[in-house]
Chain A
Amino acid sequence: MKENEKPEKGNQIIEEAAQAEYKYGFVTDIETEVIPKGLDEDVVRRISALKGEPEWLLEFRLKAYRHWLTLKAPTWGHVHVPEIDFQDISYYAAPRKKTAGEKKEIDPELKKTFDKLGIPLEEQLRLSGMAVDAVMDSVSVKTTYRERLAELGVIFCSMSEAVKDYPDLVRKYLGKVVPYTDNFYAALNSAVFSDGSFVYIPKGVRCPMELSTYFRINAAQTGQFERTLIVADDDAYVSYLEGCTAPMRDENQLHAAIVEIIVEDRAEVKYSTVQNWYPGDKDGKGGIYNLVTKRGLCRGDHSKLSWTQVETGSAITWKYPSCVLKGDHSVGEFYSVALTNNWQEADTGTKMIHLGKNSTSTIVSKGISAGHSQNSYRGMVKIAPKATGCRNFTQCDSLLLSDTSGAHTFPVIEVGNDTSVVEHEATTSKINEDQIFYCNQRGIATEDAVGLIVNGYAKEVMAKLPMEFAVEAQKLLSISLEGSVG
């Protein structure tokens, strides 16, 4: 019956799409502990102290901060990030805890927020089969299923807890894939990161449920700098989901996260994102700047890392989930749908760095531009001289829904030997009026028809998402296109 249910969901999605604007734009009225705006060494120290961190982590932060001071914000992206006043941001906001005694209980206001977002925080919802780590502003609120996962030796907790409970593991891997010297925003994140998720899957364990993090920016004038670290030891497997929303606010808010993934021998990690940060209003006012560094290291032979992303939110998106394919026969995949509407700008893509012999990578990127938006694919496929017998296949498609939007591709290919094969295919298309009329004639109104056609266009990528996410992502695509059809 699974098969039968799909179309039903499809319709429901379209109906909902016909109504909603950005439905996650509410603000939760909750007491928040915010440290004053501004950034200097004292602020870095204060964040570290608030979290009760060990000395080595404070050192890591300070080194990153000092390095950050020497850097300038990158300007090579096909996006217009206005000059950000880093002294005008608060670097730490936490929902205030009541008292020590109530610590285990989640604040009812907070719970309401996550209920609105449809996140199963309560363990009795085990049937939904998903373990969730919810991050509100800077702090991880609650991690479900922690005990059940622990029986298998799977560690899934907030980064702060990991630092306390598994310091050796964190110290061993933190900053190893994305060093603080990597780029401007990575350095900033390394200095001020507040929380995030930590996942460790021990040798030979297939994680029996999807692990999920939900990020939410609630407080005004704060930045969110979370840090995710996922380690899959030999022969391990995990599927990890990341979702994000934020209230509608007039000012822009900064989100500069880091995700690091390490995949050992024969292990596999699937990382799926449905990014739905507030994109700003119809005139381009407000919205999140999503400036994120995501990278995985396929360190082991026959290891595999798969990125799947559906990007519909943010005023500005700047992210390139990448794979360093160090192990022989390692596999990297990147499946992406990036939809931009109104005045949104997205510059997204991937890097596949082939260092191991016979490593393979696949890139499927589907860009959809509507309104006055600018949508760029930026990709690099690099095959080291010693990495013989490698293969890459890249397919990069753009769909334009308006005459005032732009689609751009910036591919870079470097092949260091002659036994490797790289293929690159690219198309640009518009939704054809005949397709729309065909749908109209069958009784499907234009806005719904565009939703159908766009979802069809993105299907190859959507099919890679876990089922629960795929439904949400389909909805998002339709909703994000609201009003884009004239």
Chain B
Amino acid sequence: MLVIKDLQASIEDKQILKGINLTVKPGEVHAIMGPNGSGKSTLSAVLTGNPAYTVTGGSVEFYGKDLLALSPEDRAHEGLFLSFQYPVEIPGVSMVNFMRTALNEKRKYFGQEPLSAADFLKLMREKRSIVQLDNKLASRAVNEGFSGGEKKRNEIFQMAMLEPKLSILDETDSGLDIDALRIVASGVNTLKSKDNATIVITHYQRLLDYIKPDFVHVLYKGRIVMSAGPELALELEEKGYDWIKEQVDSQQ
């Protein structure tokens, strides 16, 4: 579904991604790990079309379409979802209103009628239970006054509502206690199917105990420098990143 070729991107003239190659197929879970500043979050921002970043080279195909040519909202409609590392608060905009707008925009994109109020609320109830999100949270303003854990659960709730084909979880485990981590992970696992795929961006093995990856990639200095099976994550947990850094730096 996703084919990234030699993707290069910069922010404020600083080159961050220096040639990423990655292919994701339906049903797969890819973990992207790496030390701080290696470009993990930049990759998620560039894929979703964050205007703060400039693509300077390479290509991204999403189900055969040129992803980079689409607006951020059209990428979302096409089935790309980002669970933000730091979900923003939007004061005064209720989750109900926000989600309903988002969902109906997607339906409009595909030429469907908006969902009726009753159907929408039913859907919300259903999806909320996946991440045990309290009804009260759903009626509050988007992320406003949510705890760290609630914000992350709210991200997965939105993912459940929008049923994306490819979800990118950007450090969804950061700031979560073990209970919240379990809830979030079980939500992600519930939503997993043979038709959709997940990219998990994380520092730590911890989350991967709950969301089992098929592939683990190490990102360092804007490139994927190592790819292997789930055992790589365990090895990184044990040995850290230094040995990879040394290996890469010595090659340069």
Contacts and interface: CB of A to CB of B under 8 A. Distances in A.
Q: Do A and B bind each other?
A: yes
Interface of A: 1, 4-8, 10-11, 14, 432-435, 437-445, 448, 452-453, 455-460
Interface string B99-116: 011111110010000101
Closest 8 CB pairs of A and B: A456-B92, A456-B93, A459-B92, A440-B72, A4-B117, A443-B76, A7-B100, A442-B102
A452 B48 CA distance: 21
A437 B77 contact: no
30 contacts: A4-B120, A4-B121, A5-B117, A6-B96, A7-B117, A8-B100, A8-B117, A11-B100, A11-B114, A433-B51, A437-B50, A437-B51, A438-B88, A441-B48, A441-B73, A441-B81, A442-B98, A444-B73, A444-B102, A445-B71, A452-B93, A452-B98, A452-B101, A453-B90, A456-B92, A456-B93, A456-B141, A458-B92, A459-B93, A460-B92
Given A8-B100, A441-B48, 4 more contacts: A441-B82, A443-B77, A452-B101, A457-B92
Interface string B18-49: 00000000000000000000000000000011
B169 to A, nearest CB: 13
B198 interface: no
B87 interface: yes
Nearest to A451: B101
A457 B91 CA distance: 6
Interface string B109-140: 10000101110110000000000000000000
B105 A443 contact: yes
B97 interface: yes
A14 B76 CA distance: 19
A432 B143 CA distance: 15
Interface in B48-83: 48-52, 71-73, 76-77, 81-82
B236 interface: no
B84 interface: yes
A441 B76 contact: yes
Contacts of A10: 97, 100-101
Contacts of A1: 117-118
Nearest to B82: A441
Contact of A440 (B73, B87, B104, B109): B73
Contacts of A7: 94, 96-97, 100-101, 117, 120
B172 interface: no
A440 B90 contact: no
B104 A11 contact: yes
Interface of B: 48-52, 71-73, 76-77, 81-82, 84, 87-88, 90-94, 96-98, 100-106, 109, 114, 116-118, 120-121, 141, 158, 162
A444 B101 contact: yes
A26 B182 CA distance: 60
Given A437-B50, A444-B102, A432 B76 contact: no
Contacts, number: 102
Nearest to B139: A3
Nearest to B86: A434
Contacts of A5: 117
Contacts of B103: 443
B106 A443 contact: yes
A443 B97 contact: no
Contacts of A4: 117-118, 120-121
B171 to A, nearest CB: 16
Q: Is the interface of B mostly helix, strand, loop or mixed?
A: helix
B80 to A, nearest CB: 8
B102 A456 contact: no
B112 to A, nearest CB: 13
Contact of A438 (B71, B87, B92): B87
A8 B103 CA distance: 12
B160 to A, nearest CB: 13
A8 B120 CA distance: 10
Given A10-B97, A10-B100, A457-B92, A442 B51 contact: no
Given A4-B121, A433-B52, A11 B88 contact: no
Contact of A456 (B49, B84, B90, B120): B90
Contacts of B87: 438
A89 to B, nearest CB: 41
B116 to A, nearest CB: 8
Contacts of A8: 100, 114, 116-117
B102 A455 contact: no
A4 B103 CA distance: 15
A6 B90 CA distance: 18
A336 to B, nearest CB: 16
A335 to B, nearest CB: 14
Nearest to A459: B92
Contacts of B94: 7
A452 B97 contact: yes
Contacts of B77: 443
B73 A445 contact: yes
Nearest to A431: B90
B72 A437 contact: yes
A19 B184 CA distance: 40
A434 B92 contact: no
A434 B76 CA distance: 16
Nearest to B144: A456
Counting chain B CB atoms within 10 Å of each CB, the highest count among A4, A437, A445 belongs to A437
Contacts of A455: 92-93
A456 B105 contact: no
B101 A11 contact: yes
A448 B73 CA distance: 11
Contacts of B118: 1, 4
A443 B91 contact: no
Nearest to A442: B102
A453 B90 CA distance: 7
Contacts of B106: 443
Contact of A442 (B116, B117, B121, B158): B158
A468 to B, nearest CB: 18
Nearest to A446: B73
A453 B94 CA distance: 10
B76 A440 contact: yes
